[in-house]
């Protein structure tokens, strides 16, 4: 009797041990699944945060942006300035470029993208007060630039894309910083407050897009001051700001909200 009782107790104990082992295995399995899911979630979160915080390189910005830049050609002359596509076949440039036909009686004929595609100019608009103009093409399927509406900061890095010295150095990029936010200018550049940058620019850069470090438009390069002997001053260029461009678009009956 006593022996049977001991055997029964032993069997019960063995069963409890086996059950406990199975429970431990199940708990370990569940813990492993939770940890794997947690690690996966953290990996995804870390990747998302890193992607958000990663600053694009100049190469990442410049090459796609340059696909939106055009040469502007003048009848019997050739390349006369720079422009950039903002969508729907609208090319933005400097007003002193688009006013050439009216002032000189020579027609602007066509624009050329870096890939060599050429488009005839259909219509031209020049704002009467700002050095800002628009060239309209037939509807085209080309990349376009967007506006940065966050506002400029002095010291901010900017890029200038265009054709310094005309057809000798087409589709070039230079960079600098915003030197000053407000430079009142009258006369040649219109009655408008321009901003100043220190990027080196030259004839042929008129109408170039001025971009922020993310490749969005912050202005149009329109020129710079000259010394008393008539030479351009290095490191000082002036640009038409975003608000003036949008005002000019409104005056030209172009819906600027589509391009913001």
Domain segments of the chain: what residues? Answer: 58-136, 157-259
What was the pLDDT predicted at 124? 96
Confidence of residue 1 (pLDDT cuts 50, 70, 90): low
What was the pLDDT predicted at 192? 76
Determine the Cα–Cα distance for residues 205 and 119; give it in Å rounded to an integer. Answer: 20
Determine the Cα–Cα distance for residues 41 and 103; give it in Å rounded to an integer. Answer: 64
170 or 51, which is more confident: 170
Confidence of residue 246 (pLDDT cuts 50, 70, 90): very high
Ranges 10-19, 54-63, 138-147, most confident:
138-147
C-alpha to C-alpha distances, 6 to 14, 18, 20, 257, nearest whole angstrom = 12, 18, 21, 89
Confidence of residue 36 (pLDDT cuts 50, 70, 90): low
Determine the Cα–Cα distance for residues 90 and 83; give it in Å rounded to an integer. Answer: 10
* Mean pLDDT score, 215-228: 82
Average pLDDT, the chain: 81
6 or 235, which is more confident: 235
- For the beta sheet containing 69-74, the strands, ordered from the edge strand earlier in sequence to the opposite edge, are 118-120, 108-113, 69-74, 78-85, 90-93, 133-136, 123-126
As annotated, the active-site residues are 96, 131, 206
Give residue-wise pLDDT tens across range 107-146: 999 999 999 999 999 999 999 888 999 999 998 999 999 9
Confidence of residue 230 (pLDDT cuts 50, 70, 90): very low
Confidence of residue 26 (pLDDT cuts 50, 70, 90): low
Q: Do 208 and 201 touch, CB atoms closer than 8 A?
A: yes
Instruction: Evaluate if residue 25 carries a pLDDT over 70.
Output: no
What was the pLDDT predicted at 126? 95
Q: What percent of the chain has pLDDT over 90?
A: 57
For domain 157-259, give the fold.
Thrombin, subunit H (2.40.10)
DSSP state of 87: S
Minimal CA–CA distance to 171: which of 44, 55, 251, 63?
Answer: 63
Task: Say yes or no: do domains 58-136 and 157-259 share a fold.
Answer: yes
Architecture in CATH for domain 58-136: Beta Barrel (2.40)
Give residue-wise pLDDT tens across range 85-106: 999 999 999 999 999 998 999 9
């Amino acid at each position: 009797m006593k022996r049977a009782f001991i055997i029964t107790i032993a069997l019960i104990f063995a069963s409890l041990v086996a059950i406990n082992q199975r429970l431990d295995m199940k708990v370990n399995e569940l813990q492993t699944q939770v940890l794997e899911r947690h690690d996966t979630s953290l990996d995804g979160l870390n990747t998302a945060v890193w992607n958000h915080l990663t600053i694009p390189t100049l190469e990442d910005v410049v090459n796609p942006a340059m696909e939106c830049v055009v040469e502007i050609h003048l009848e019997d002359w050739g390349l006369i300035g720079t422009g950039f596509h903002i969508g729907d076949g609208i090319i933005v440039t400097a007003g002193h470029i688009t006013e050439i036909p009216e002032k000189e009686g020579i027609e602007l004929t066509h624009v050329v993208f870096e890939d060599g595609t050429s488009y005839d100019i259909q219509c031209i608009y020049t704002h009467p007060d700002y050095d800002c103009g628009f060239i309209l093409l037939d509807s085209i399927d080309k990349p376009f630039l967007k506006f940065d509406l966050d506002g400029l900061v002095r010291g901010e890095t900017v890029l200038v894309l265009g054709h310094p010295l005309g057809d000798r150095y087409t589709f070039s990029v230079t960079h600098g910083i915003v030197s000053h936010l407000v430079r009142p200018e009258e006369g040649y550049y219109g009655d408008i407050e321009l901003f100043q940058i220190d990027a080196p620019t030259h004839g042929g850069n008129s109408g170039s897009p001025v971009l922020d470090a993310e490749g969005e438009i912050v202005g149009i390069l329109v020129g710079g001051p000259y010394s008393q002997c008539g030479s351009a001053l290095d490191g000082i260029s002036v640009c038409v700001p975003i608000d003036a461009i949008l005002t000019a678009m409104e005056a030209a009956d172009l819906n600027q909200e589509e391009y913001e």
